[in-house]
Structure 1
Amino acid sequence: MAAGVADAHLIEVDRSWGVVGASTIGLTFSLGTLLLYTFGVFVRPLTAEFGWTRTQLSGALALSQYTFAFAAPVWGMLIDRFGPRAVLLPSVVCMALLVGSLSLLGNLWEYYLIFIAASFCAGGATPIGYAAVLVRRFERRLGLALGLAMMGVGIGAAVLPPLSAMLIHDFGWRAAYVGLGILTFVFTVPAALIATRRASGPARTGIATPLAPLLPTPMPVLPLIISRTFILICAIFVLLGATSIGTLTSIVPMMVGRGFTLQAAAKLAGLTGLAAICGRGGIGWVLDRVHPPFVVAGIALAALGAYLLAAYGSGGTSGTVMALLLGAVVGAEVDFTAFFIRRYFGEATFSRLYGVAFGIFLIGVGTGPVLASTSFDHFGSYRPGSLLFAAGAVLVVLLTFVMPRPPAMRRAG
């Protein structure tokens, strides 16, 4: 009997880590990796064909992030109400179609419209959808599970920019968008089905009302949203998001301006993704064992080094070190936010709180590229923007010192 219980436990563990693998694949082709991390590769081809400035192009990115900032809480509410599968599957299909439709661009307003539509139609194809699955399956090793799943963000950052550059070089930018759309559909639909196989229903916990004791209603989240801890979490990660994405989306044009070819600059951007892949699981392992704000402070110091190298580096070795340091930061905000909210506030309100926090985080993500592009358009250099980002990293370190300790973690059986 004991052997049978042990075998069942092993099967369950295997299935849980299979969910992590499927989530990793899904996040490789998520909303952020497809629109944010490939953005810099398409800047020069779109500018050459249509004459759009970099500020105009980054405006579409900003509008997309701002739109999703308001939509993210709704996506979190939908996941708590209907479950991850009902939200994730339609989202990945819409994401594939929208990316492919970028090949039909003819006007700037169409570019803006597609980026905005992605926020309304594909919001589940983000960490909101996949994190909701993982917090239902993991407790004691949640940090490791989130870290491994978020490796998909690093894989996307490593693979998609050079892949896009290769497709642009060989077939043109329109065919490159078509190719990305096809790959998104082929990989994400099976991944979403596997990830949500045993997490398809609504949130398991809530508050039962006197009139409907068997039909729990969602726990209220407003008192938690206005709490000091939640505000600190949002402030820390919106700063990290703005500075890291602002730098990441500028790497390709920044390096091309320093004499790199488009392909070489895209490979350097891909190196950021490789660094994220190598470090994400390790960072998640550390999160499960070290006071989490200390881990965030270390990540912010790595970000500070990356931004200073972006401001004063000359390419070559300094560019490589910058990419490696940035890789420790890019995407970390997303799994850190999920980890912090789960640890500080529990599972019952996770998707709604994470949706709010993710929406606020996206305001920073949308602002960062605009600040970087404006720095170049107005000063002829990315240096002022990089120095501003360095100041933001210093502020993050200071904020981590006032974060409380999370509640004692329940040990999983």
Structure 2
Amino acid sequence: MKPSAATLGMGVSMTVGYGTLYYSFSILAPEIAREFGWSQSFVFAVFSIGLLGGAVSAPIIGRLIDRFGARPVLTFGSILAAAALAGLSMVQNGWQFAAVTLAAEFVSIAVQYDAGFAALAQRHGQEARSQITLVTLVAGFASTVFWPLIQWLLTMMTWREVYLVLAGLNLVLALPVHALWPSYRQPPVRPATNAAGAGRPPVVSRRPQLALMAISLSAGGFVLSAMGASLLVLLGDAGFTPAIATLAGSMIGPSQVAARIIEYARRGVLSPPVTGLIATGAIFLALALLFAAAIFPAVAIVLLFAVFFGIGQGLTSIIRGVLPLHYFGTAGYGRTMGTLSGIRMVLSAAAPFTIIFVNEKLGISAAVGCLLLMGAVGLAAMIALSRLAPLLSQETSTN
């Protein structure tokens, strides 16, 4: 399937969604803490609590997408995201900051991958895999674009004015894409039934697949969230210099993009479960290499870790969207994505604090060992999931 202008536009809007509501915080948080005299730990704790707001809103937004279609949810999401970012520019105390941050993360789900994937599934049905991959490929540059952009803006204006610019980007770039998104909604695909399972309620029949999917994606979310927040700290405590740690971190991005390009080019070759096995397997192997590097700090090992981790991270964003489509089809896709995201985001919010706490109390080996255990759980659940059949007939199942 050739890339459409609408899909490329969705990739741009997802870039804006992640760049303004997620990646911006790591750059602006020190500026906020400095102005108010707060500790950075307080500011990041507020952000972590805000992520839990996304866990609460994900199932709600998923149901709204199923009921009303993706276009109105995405459109109002852009407007509310802009309002929340503008609100951050006007906070005057800690309570206001906490309340507006929670609101911003609550609405962020409506302008990020979960809503975007649902929009693609409604429009393209079982053929949405290539479109989902393309969107993740474009939006994968969110940090690459927004980190230097925000740093550059801070040389000319205050953090409050930067938030106003970020609000404007949601209105100027993301809102038109969402407002013009086709309103077409595919009719739901009925799950296949057989003699043994005739009459069984869909919720019951899909429970094993949904549970294993939730376990694997949530374990992966824990690892990705923890590594995103604490990688440089962990590498430093493992004995690597800041230069080597930065080099390793910089290799993750290109590896992530390369994995997504290969997935887009070869999307018809491997089934979504096999792609899921590659993603979780790459993350597990990367964490095993990081554990080895914590014991024997060799540069080659940590660089190899970065490559495999980037591959796993790049493919994980894709399987979040294509696995529910593969196993359950388009019927109730928004609700399914919301349920999975809610569970995943609870663990993701707890991950940075948990790993830093373990690292401080028990040491680097224990912290990486905890991550390795979560990686093993994610891989084991994916192996079990790959052995289960999709709940669709052969005529409608995806490859």
TM (normalized to structure 1)? Answer: 0.77
Q: Which runs of 5+ in 1 are unaligned?
A: 1-12, 208-219
Of residues 384-393 and 159-168 in structure 1, the stretch that sits farther from structure 2 once superposed is: 159-168
Deviation at 1:21, TM superposition (A): 0.6
Deviation at 1:259, TM superposition (A): 6.2
Indicate if the aligned counterparts of 2:223 and 2:351 stay in contact, CA closer than 8 A: yes
Q: Distance in 2 between matches of 1:285 and 1:361?
A: 28
1:58 aligns with 2:44: yes
Match of 1:397 in 2: 379
Q: Distance in 2 between matches of 1:95 and 1:175?
A: 16
Aligned pair in 2 of structure 1 residues 66, 288: CA closer, same or farther (>3 Å)? farther
Deviation at 1:401, TM superposition (A): 1.9
Match of 2:208 in 1: 228
Q: Distance in 2 between matches of 1:187 and 1:316?
A: 41
Aligned pair in 2 of structure 1 residues 285, 65: CA closer, same or farther (>3 Å)? farther
1:151 aligns with 2:137: yes
Q: Distance in 1 between matches of 2:157 and 2:366?
A: 36
1:22 aligns with 2:2: no
Q: Which runs of 5+ in 2 are unaligned?
A: 191-200
Match of 1:205 in 2: 188
Match of 1:372 in 2: 355
Indicate if the aligned counterparts of 1:29 and 1:188 stay in contact, CA closer than 8 A: yes
Aligned pair in 2 of structure 1 residues 285, 371: CA closer, same or farther (>3 Å)? farther
Match of 2:101 in 1: 115
1:344 to 315, 320, 327: 327
Letter in structure 1 aligned against 2:151: A
Aligned pair in 2 of structure 1 residues 298, 64: CA closer, same or farther (>3 Å)? same
Q: Distance in 2 between matches of 1:27 and 1:254?
A: 29
Secondary structure of 2:270 counterpart: coil
Aligned pair in 2 of structure 1 residues 302, 172: CA closer, same or farther (>3 Å)? farther
Indicate if the aligned counterparts of 1:161 and 1:269 stay in contact, CA closer than 8 A: no
Q: Distance in 1 between matches of 2:233 and 2:383?
A: 36
Indicate if the aligned counterparts of 2:58 and 2:341 stay in contact, CA closer than 8 A: yes
Secondary structure of 2:140 counterpart: helix
Match of 2:273 in 1: 293
Q: Distance in 2 between matches of 1:360 and 1:109?
A: 27
Q: Distance in 1 between matches of 2:48 and 2:272?
A: 30
Indicate if the aligned counterparts of 1:244 and 1:303 stay in contact, CA closer than 8 A: no
1:127 to 99, 105, 113: 113
Q: Distance in 2 between matches of 1:53 and 1:21?
A: 40
Q: Distance in 2 between matches of 1:43 and 1:379?
A: 26
Deviation at 1:53, TM superposition (A): 4.5
1:238 aligns with 2:224: no
For 1:81-117, what per-residue CA distance to the aligned partner results, in whole angstroms no more than 9, with x for missing partners? 1111111111112213323433334433333222211
For 1:302-336, what per-residue CA distance to the aligned partner results, in whole angstroms no more than 9, with x for missing partners? 32354456664779876665554433333643431
1:98 aligns with 2:79: no
Aligned pair in 2 of structure 1 residues 317, 28: CA closer, same or farther (>3 Å)? farther
Secondary structure of 2:110 counterpart: coil
1:191 to 149, 157, 177: 177
Of residues 117-126 and 280-289 in structure 1, the stretch that sits farther from structure 2 once superposed is: 280-289
Q: Distance in 2 between matches of 1:335 and 1:309?
A: 24
Secondary structure of 1:36 counterpart: helix
Q: Distance in 2 between matches of 1:331 and 1:105?
A: 35
1:356 to 335, 339, 342: 339
Secondary structure of 2:141 counterpart: helix
Match of 2:258 in 1: 278
Aligned pair in 2 of structure 1 residues 355, 103: CA closer, same or farther (>3 Å)? same
Indicate if the aligned counterparts of 2:126 and 2:326 stay in contact, CA closer than 8 A: no
1:327 aligns with 2:315: no
Letter in structure 2 aligned against 1:326: F
Aligned pair in 2 of structure 1 residues 34, 251: CA closer, same or farther (>3 Å)? farther
Aligned pair in 2 of structure 1 residues 306, 323: CA closer, same or farther (>3 Å)? same
Q: Distance in 2 between matches of 1:80 and 1:330?
A: 28
Q: Distance in 2 between matches of 1:315 and 1:41?
A: 30
For 1:324-356, what per-residue CA distance to the aligned partner results, in whole angstroms no more than 9, with x for missing partners? 443333364343122111111111211111111
Secondary structure of 1:104 counterpart: coil
Q: Distance in 2 between matches of 1:170 and 1:390?
A: 43
Deviation at 1:368, TM superposition (A): 1.8
Letter in structure 2 aligned against 1:370: F
Q: Distance in 1 between matches of 2:42 and 2:143?
A: 23
Secondary structure of 1:164 counterpart: helix
Deviation at 1:375, TM superposition (A): 4.1
Match of 1:86 in 2: 72
Secondary structure of 1:136 counterpart: helix
Match of 1:5 in 2: none
Indicate if the aligned counterparts of 2:259 and 2:314 stay in contact, CA closer than 8 A: no
TM (normalized to structure 2)? Answer: 0.80
Secondary structure of 1:402 counterpart: helix
Aligned pair in 2 of structure 1 residues 309, 206: CA closer, same or farther (>3 Å)? closer
Aligned length: 378
1:182 aligns with 2:168: yes
Q: Distance in 2 between matches of 1:145 and 1:281?
A: 12
Indicate if the aligned counterparts of 2:259 and 2:315 stay in contact, CA closer than 8 A: no
Secondary structure of 1:330 counterpart: helix
Match of 2:128 in 1: 142
Indicate if the aligned counterparts of 1:73 and 1:352 stay in contact, CA closer than 8 A: yes
Kindly, what percent of the aligned residue pairs are identical?
A: 19
Secondary structure of 2:330 counterpart: coil
Aligned pair in 2 of structure 1 residues 139, 71: CA closer, same or farther (>3 Å)? closer
Deviation at 1:39, TM superposition (A): 3.7
Q: Distance in 2 between matches of 1:203 and 1:191?
A: 20
Deviation at 1:402, TM superposition (A): 1.2
Match of 2:367 in 1: 385
For 1:165-206, what per-residue CA distance to the aligned partner results, in whole angstroms no more than 9, with x for missing partners? 343456454444333333333221222234x1x2x2556338
Q: Distance in 1 between matches of 2:298 and 2:28?
A: 21
For 1:267-317, what per-residue CA distance to the aligned partner results, in whole angstroms no more than 9, with x for missing partners? 976654443333224235555432433322322233235445666477987
